[in-house]
Amino acid sequence: MGERLLDVRELEPPEPLERVLELLDTLAAGDSLRMLHRRQPNLLYPILEREGFAHRTTATAEGDFEILIWRKQV
């Protein structure tokens, strides 16, 4: 069980999406990905649903968003 961190706060769209999709390909069952983002990644959510990932988003004190992503158990 590992957790990986991806900070995309300084990246210009659509790089955040490109990066996270690359990482998701390598995410094993039981691993999770913690993503730091300046905005709600509304484009990402439907892709996650479709590809079988679960996610939970929380707003941070600095006004950013933290998105936790993991593979759904089948």
Partner 1 sequence: MLPAGLSFDQAPPIAVPFRFFLTAPLFLLAAAILLVAYGPEMLLSRHMPATLAATHLLTLGFTSMVMCGAMMQMLPVVAGAPVPAPRLVAWTVHLSLATGAAGVAASFLWGRPVLMHLGGGLAALGFGVFLAAAAWSLAHVRSRSPSVPAMGFSIASLAVTAALGLTLGIARQGGLDIPYVQFSLLHPMWGLYGWTALLVMGVAYQVVPMFQLTPNYPKAITTWLAGGLFLLLILRSAAEFTLLPPAVPGVALAAGAGVFAIATLRLQGRRKRKISDATLLFWRVGMGLLLAACLLWLAAALLPAEAAERARLLLGIAALPGFILAVINGMLYKIVPFLAWFHLQSRYVGKTAIPNMKQLQPDRPARGQMALYLAALALLAGAVFWPPLARLSGLLWLASALWLERNLLRALILYRRTVALATAKKSD
Contacts of 64 (CB under 8 A, 6+ apart): 9, 36, 37, 38
Min CB(24)–partner 1 separation in Å: 11
Residue 46: asked if its preceding bond is cis (omega within 30°), the reply is no
Residue 3 is given by DSSP the state E
Min CB(22)–partner 1 separation in Å: 11
User: Considering beta carbons, is residue 1 or 25 the nearer one to partner 1?
Assistant: 25
Min CB(53)–partner 1 separation in Å: 14
Which residues of this protein are in contact with partner 1, per CB under 8 A?
A: 9-15, 17-18, 21, 38-43, 46-47, 63
